Every structure is written in structure tokens, then in C-alpha cells.
Amino acid sequence: MLPTPKKFTICAGTAEGASELNAFDNALLNAGIGNLNLLKVSSILPPGAEYAENLNIPPGTLTPTAYGSIVSEKPGELIAASVGIGFSENSFGVIMEYSGTCSAKEAEEQVIKMVEEAFKIRGLKLTRVMAKAVEHRVEKCGCAFAAVALWY
């Protein structure tokens, strides 16, 4: 059984690349988590998890991460990605991810709505929301990426 993460950070980045995978990889590097092996997880923040501005995780480590990303090869297109975390008083939190052809502001607004709905459906009281969003104007092949990385 895997241990329950006790820390989290929120990050985002954008980049261009020679291919879709290179653009994605470069956006991860820009976000500060490009040398980790991301394990995509669904969207629950463990109870009591504490925010850390930076997590000191060794390169190559398997890292549970909830993320949204978008890659585009349409020059001039505006793309964005956002993550939002909803916090409750004495329970777990909920993480939502969004990406699309929109501005960072629109992506953040969408992810906050998603957090609010997730709390309503669960019958939890939402006490605060933390969100982060980025946008990128595509030159040739661009990526926008936003994530919540969880750690022990």
C-alpha cells in the first residue's frame, strides 16, 4: 500500500517545442517538475496535507500529480491550463483541472466553478480555494500545463 501524501505544491508552466511531446516536456520543466515521473491521479487532496512552495523531490521519482494540459500546433492560438484546490474545515480537499483554448483568467474561473460543484455534490462546506492558471500564445507547437503535485 502506498503512503498518503502529506504535502502538496501548485505549479504551472508554458513552453514551445519541436513536437507535441517536447512542448509538454518543456512546459513541465518551466513549471519546475520536469525531471519527475508524474503519476496522474484523480482529484482528492488528503486530509491535513500542507502546502509547500517547493517540494524537494529527487529526479526520476514517481510523483502523484493531478494536472491539466493542452498542446496546440495552431500558430496564434491562445491556450490555457488551470488547477484549483478546494479546502474544507476538517476533511479532505478536492482538486480540479481544466485546459482549453481560452485565457488564463477564463481557465481559472472555470476550474473554480468545478471546485464549487465538487463540494456541493459531496455535501462539504467549501472554506477556501487556491487556484493557478497560465496561458500561452502558440508560435509553432505550444503547451500550457498546470498541476498539483503531492508528496510525502
Question: Catalytic site residues?
Answer: 37, 42-43, 97
* φ/ψ (deg, to 5) at 80: -150, 155
Burial group, residue 16, by CB count within 10 angstroms (0-12, 13-18, 19+): middle
> How far apart are alpha carbons 25 and 95 in whole angstroms?
22
Q: Which residues of 88-114 are buried (b: 16+ CB within 10 A; e: fewer)?
A: beeeebbbbbbbbebebebbbbbbbeb
Helix and strand numbers, DSSP H then E, in the chain: 2, 9
> How far apart are alpha carbons 42 and 97 in whole angstroms?
10
